[in-house]
Structure 1
């Protein structure tokens, strides 16, 4: 197996925890703690992403080499790896939680590929760290499969995201109480290798602000800009203005990311500030979910079931709130509240503009007519009908391209409804909406073929529905990886109709409506 080239700037340029060992502790005056993965009994490669492997310089022979599973299962290190766990804090469900840190994630190092790109390699589930609190630092197969599948599915959907290189089984059992109800049981363990240019989060800055460690806060801000936003270093010579432009860029990227979530029906499930990437990437795939029947109030997270803070329709607002906390954290360095407020306004403007642009594409419109008499009202009415009629979001928008705008009927929508009674209640008004939409499309005169192709590039046919992931998990836990491989493969081309893969494009079956893992999930992994 070939070695990788490493340039570990995070550990080289930022202060380390002077204490060593895995013992749990409060870490002050440091950005990370050096800690190695805990070896496992029998590491075995279960799945990998060919695209990410190629990005890092691995070929198939490298992936199938037994040494690969040893390294990415936590039993060995490649030359140049300098493993560590990062120190950060965060707001969880709106409340300051203090020090959190990488409790079950260990970064192996920053790899530089043949194109000069920097990729941080991080193992999730590789054993305890100083930030593990009362946990064991491990991850189970079900949550690891979900993270592996969704990381790559989101990339192929065009959503900004961290990536996943590999899924390695540990050959060990991990005890988990999935719903925290006293029914703990042993489950097979697994480790995901996550890949991103950086895993720095909002919480990395919040912890130093909360502790009054302002020199370290400024050092981390300057390091992040220099390493991860080099274009700002070239464009803005004044350090003070550079800090402001950096925050504005974080706001823009976060806005684009959330607009994409709303476009494809993704619900993160746990948008705590420690789960927000400074690069505007979707990060930390825990109790996420995909909207089946359109419902802006739906959340997949059992922990959030009562307040629904992180529900689908609230995600744009929560991202704004999280950015506000980041602004508060960096204020001691920036010292310009008006500039930070302008950054937050940039988020709101960008998110609205991006969401409008994406919904325009989803509806197949050549232009957007704003206002209550225009397409804003058209969209609002549609989303209300999708909710009232219990309509599958993914299938509705995909089927919309098949409806003749000059003579719309409900025939192409035969498979998008979940409840016959609710379908009957909305059919007349939905048909009226289709006629209004068809008139808009016809008035614009966009060629039918181009319009349909454009809609199909925006509206996926295949998404990582919870029940599909659960079927892959059930099979994998029984020793059958074929379902995982098939799902992973079909999600690599989510916009292309793939003959023979129709079952992956079906709406959620009734048996999955309330089944654990198919509707609601917990933070347990």
Structure 2
């Protein structure tokens, strides 16, 4: 799957590096977390600044702990396709430059249930301004290495946020506020397209506000605000869809705590978290205004949105199909969105028509259709779609499905009628309970 990019190599920045970071996993401090199976090759210079090139799955490093540092084809296809799909959806994300198979068998226990098996190995080369995470700073505080923390902060800001001067509290607060806003913006985009990250640990939070580390992610298919694709989180559902903005706040709080050793007045950190909460709330409001074609979300619109969420949750209805169909209706009749309901579901037709009439009156029969189509994608990388690509690649060495999806998802907001019958579809019944579609683990 070739990816064309226009970059200019920088010979002075080519030494391979191994990242070291820690983090909170599922709310608990986990100490050093190895290297994420990643090796940084160096940087390339582009018109927009430097981009870091990183191999994921290239093997052992000094920080690999007890793992082998390798990756399997299954997870590599998912990362490659999803990072590119997210970019074209307009969601802040790392990018994927290439995916190659290694010809080596890698043993993994997919569901952590005592059944390890060999899988084909692969390596993804991914790209971002940097892969510095919240946990990159946390580990130095945990180790009591405050001078190293200061050096990392200075490097990060000088190299990637040069408009800030972090030698003072004012500068640190300004930089941290920018990071908090970028984090809130990223999560608002997740919510807009129905994306659930699945592993919002602090080591998976980019300092740039980019979606990073595509593991057991998924998109809402039947709309369920409590859904998480991660089997490890099935009990607590900490990282469920509607909790993502709140987890963002929790993670920002941990980042702010890690900066306390550098602050003269640590009391100034709390307002940054307060600002995140307000900024995130406003971003969510803007998201719903865009999705519903309202222009601006008024305070009086809150019942309209909440009642829609209740209706979506009460019936097995596909989020992506529903909102895309909503862009095109010309009268408030549930028949125009009926294709979004899963077989066997029994929608309350009267309740749906009442809501649609309220919405129709709110937009004066003239919703911002173009804006709605820009906010509501027609095509997203559903897990069953990714699984079809994985099956073809693993079983037959056939990457044509992956290549087809790669092309399809470059234009997720376009109609692409030639692909409707195949890809503009609800989750098929065979995928309802299949591993890799309805549930995933962190095994990769």
Q: How does 1:224-373 map to 2 (within 5 A)?
A: 224-233=156-165, 239-370=168-299
Counterpart CA distance in 1 for 2:14 and 2:142 is: 31
Counterpart CA distance in 1 for 2:296 and 2:216 is: 36
Q: What secondary structure sits across from 1:396 in the alignment?
A: helix
Cα RMSD, aligned residues only: 1.6
2:30 matched residue in structure 1:
97
| Number of aligned positions between the proteins | 442
Query: Which portions of structure 1, spanning 4 or more consecutive aligned residues, are displaced by more than 6 angstroms?
Result: none
Whether the 8 Å contact between 2:19 and 2:35 is mirrored in structure 1 is yes
Give the superposition deviation at 1:339: 1.7
* 429 and 365 in structure 1: CA distance in 2 versus 1, 3 angstrom threshold: same
Q: What secondary structure sits across from 2:281 in the alignment?
A: helix
* 2:84 pairs with 1:155: no
Give the superposition deviation at 1:419: 4.2
Match of 2:355 among 428, 433, 439: 433
Counterpart CA distance in 1 for 2:425 and 2:8 is: 36
1:202 matched residue in structure 2:
134
* 354 and 213 in structure 1: CA distance in 2 versus 1, 3 angstrom threshold: same
* 2:403 pairs with 1:485: yes
Q: What secondary structure sits across from 1:246 in the alignment?
A: helix
* 2:301 pairs with 1:375: yes
Q: What secondary structure sits across from 2:103 in the alignment?
A: strand
Counterpart CA distance in 2 for 1:440 and 1:80 is: 56
Give the superposition deviation at 1:367: 2.4
Whether the 8 Å contact between 2:137 and 2:149 is mirrored in structure 1 is yes
* 410 and 203 in structure 1: CA distance in 2 versus 1, 3 angstrom threshold: same
Match of 2:338 among 406, 414, 421: 414
Give the superposition deviation at 1:57: 5.1
* 2:441 pairs with 1:522: yes
**Higher mean Cα deviation, 409-418 or 186-195?**
409-418
Give the superposition deviation at 1:337: 3.0
The Cα offsets for residues 53-76 of structure 1, whole Å up to 9 and x where unpaired, read as: 23x259xxxxxxxxxxxxxxxxxx
Whether the 8 Å contact between 1:388 and 1:422 is mirrored in structure 2 is no
Q: What secondary structure sits across from 2:398 in the alignment?
A: coil
Match of 1:470 among 387, 393, 416: 387
1:505 matched residue in structure 2:
424
User: TM-score if structure 1 supplies the norm length?
Assistant: 0.82
1:495 matched residue in structure 2:
413
Counterpart CA distance in 1 for 2:209 and 2:48 is: 21
1:167 matched residue in structure 2:
99
Q: What secondary structure sits across from 1:250 in the alignment?
A: helix
Whether the 8 Å contact between 2:169 and 2:264 is mirrored in structure 1 is no
1:455 matched residue in structure 2:
372
Counterpart CA distance in 2 for 1:258 and 1:48 is: 29
Whether the 8 Å contact between 2:44 and 2:52 is mirrored in structure 1 is yes
1:401 matched residue in structure 2:
327
| Structure 2: gaps (5+ residues) | none
Q: Which has the larger radius of gyration?
A: 1
Whether the 8 Å contact between 1:103 and 1:130 is mirrored in structure 2 is no
Counterpart CA distance in 2 for 1:124 and 1:285 is: 11
Q: What secondary structure sits across from 1:468 in the alignment?
A: helix
1:220 matched residue in structure 2:
152
Whether the 8 Å contact between 2:216 and 2:229 is mirrored in structure 1 is yes
Give the superposition deviation at 1:396: 0.7
Give the superposition deviation at 1:421: 3.7
Q: What secondary structure sits across from 2:156 in the alignment?
A: helix
The Cα offsets for residues 101-154 of structure 1, whole Å up to 9 and x where unpaired, read as: 3141000001112x2620000000000112211111000001000000000100
User: TM-score if structure 2 supplies the norm length?
Assistant: 0.97
Counterpart CA distance in 2 for 1:497 and 1:84 is: 43
Whether the 8 Å contact between 1:103 and 1:129 is mirrored in structure 2 is no
Q: What secondary structure sits across from 1:365 in the alignment?
A: coil
1:49 matched residue in structure 2:
3
Q: How does 1:180-199 map to 2 (within 5 A)?
A: 180-199=112-131
Whether the 8 Å contact between 1:103 and 1:128 is mirrored in structure 2 is no
Whether the 8 Å contact between 2:51 and 2:130 is mirrored in structure 1 is yes
Give the superposition deviation at 1:463: 0.3
Counterpart CA distance in 2 for 1:232 and 1:359 is: 32
The Cα offsets for residues 12-48 of structure 1, whole Å up to 9 and x where unpaired, read as: xxxxxxxxxxxxxxxxxxxxxxxxxxxxxxxxxxx23
The Cα offsets for residues 243-274 of structure 1, whole Å up to 9 and x where unpaired, read as: 11111111110000011100000000000000
* 163 and 137 in structure 1: CA distance in 2 versus 1, 3 angstrom threshold: same
Give the superposition deviation at 1:479: 1.0
Whether the 8 Å contact between 1:147 and 1:285 is mirrored in structure 2 is yes
| Structure 1: gaps (5+ residues) | 1-46, 59-77
Give the superposition deviation at 1:415: 1.4
Give the superposition deviation at 1:327: 1.0
Give the superposition deviation at 1:422: 3.1
Whether the 8 Å contact between 2:249 and 2:276 is mirrored in structure 1 is yes
